[in-house]
């Protein structure tokens, strides 16, 4: 199985996964009320996102980088990147922080934390880069979710 997947290539697999996720989102979104553009229903956004993901997935699968042919197994194993445990840990920690802070701290601290902690997962980012990204994402979250979409998510709360 592993040899079969290695022969296909990462981009082809990623494109296929995007196609399947897009198809699933579109089908599930269509099972809800679509509404209109002026008054969108709960199914409009997932259906539209799914429809957009499908051609992107097809394009990635068709035009993505192909695996090298004729390379020896030892050469291919040397070319495989090492696992980035710092990145994985920071991404998971950022999601947990968003859940906890969203529930107990509000939109602004949760949005800041998810961007700041996830940015620390990249070894090339400096602390100041992560801080700037966190502040920018908190501002974007307030503008988009609280002001434009008027979600009932308090900006700050304690408890």
Structure tokens at 98: 């968003």
Q: What pLDDT, on a 0 to 100 scale, did the predictor assign at position 114? A: 96
Our measurement of the distance from residue 50's CA atom to the centroid of its chain's CA atoms, rounded to an integer in Å, reads: 14
Q: What pLDDT, on a 0 to 100 scale, did the predictor assign at position 115? A: 96
Q: Are residues 17 and 71 in the same domain?
A: yes
Q: What pLDDT, on a 0 to 100 scale, did the predictor assign at position 13? A: 85
Q: What pLDDT, on a 0 to 100 scale, did the predictor assign at position 83? A: 75
Our measurement of the distance from residue 70's CA atom to the centroid of its chain's CA atoms, rounded to an integer in Å, reads: 34
- The answer to whether 50 and 29 are in contact (CB under 8 A) is yes
Q: What pLDDT, on a 0 to 100 scale, did the predictor assign at position 107? A: 93
Q: Are residues 74 and 7 in the same domain?
A: yes
Q: What pLDDT, on a 0 to 100 scale, did the predictor assign at position 71? A: 54
The DSSP symbol for 105 reads T
- The answer to whether 135 and 111 are in contact (CB under 8 A) is no
Please name every residue paired with 35 in a beta bridge, in sequence order, or none if there are none: 40
Domain final position from 79, 103, 136 = 79
Q: Are residues 14 and 65 in the same domain?
A: yes
- The answer to whether 97 and 117 are in contact (CB under 8 A) is yes
Q: Are residues 52 and 89 in the same domain?
A: no
Read off φ and ψ for residue 40, nearest 5 degrees: -65, 145
pTM for the full predicted model: 0.57
pLDDT values of the chain reduced to their tens digit, one per residue, 159 residues: 555 555 677 788 888 999 999 999 999 999 998 888 888 888 888 999 999 999 999 998 888 776 666 555 555 556 667 778 888 999 999 999 999 999 999 999 999 999 999 999 998 889 999 999 999 999 999 999 888 888 888 889 886
Instruction: Mark residue 151 as left, alpha or beta (left: phi above 0; alpha: psi -120 to 50; beta: remaining).
Output: beta
What span, in angstroms and rounded, lies between the C-alpha atoms of 21 and 156? 34
Q: What pLDDT, on a 0 to 100 scale, did the predictor assign at position 76? A: 54
Q: Are residues 49 and 93 in the same domain?
A: no
């Amino acid at each position: 199985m592993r040899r079969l997947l290695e022969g296909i290539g990462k981009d082809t697999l990623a494109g296929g996964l995007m196609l399947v996720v897009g198809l699933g989102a579109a089908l599930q979104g269509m099972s809800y009320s679509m509404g209109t553009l002026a008054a969108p229903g709960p199914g409009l956004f997932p259906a539209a996102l799914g429809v957009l993901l499908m051609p992107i997935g097809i394009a990635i699968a068709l035009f993505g980088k192909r695996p090298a042919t004729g390379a020896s197994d030892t050469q291919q194993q040397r070319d495989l990147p090492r696992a980035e445990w710092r990145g994985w840990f920071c991404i998971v920690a950022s999601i947990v922080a968003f859940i906890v802070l969203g529930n107990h701290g509000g939109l602004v601290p949760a949005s800041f934390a998810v961007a700041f902690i996830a940015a620390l997962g990249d070894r090339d980012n400096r602390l100041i880069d992560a801080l700037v990204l966190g502040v920018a994402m908190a501002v974007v979250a307030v503008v988009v979710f609280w002001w434009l979409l008027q979600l009932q998510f308090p900006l700050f709360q304690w408890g």
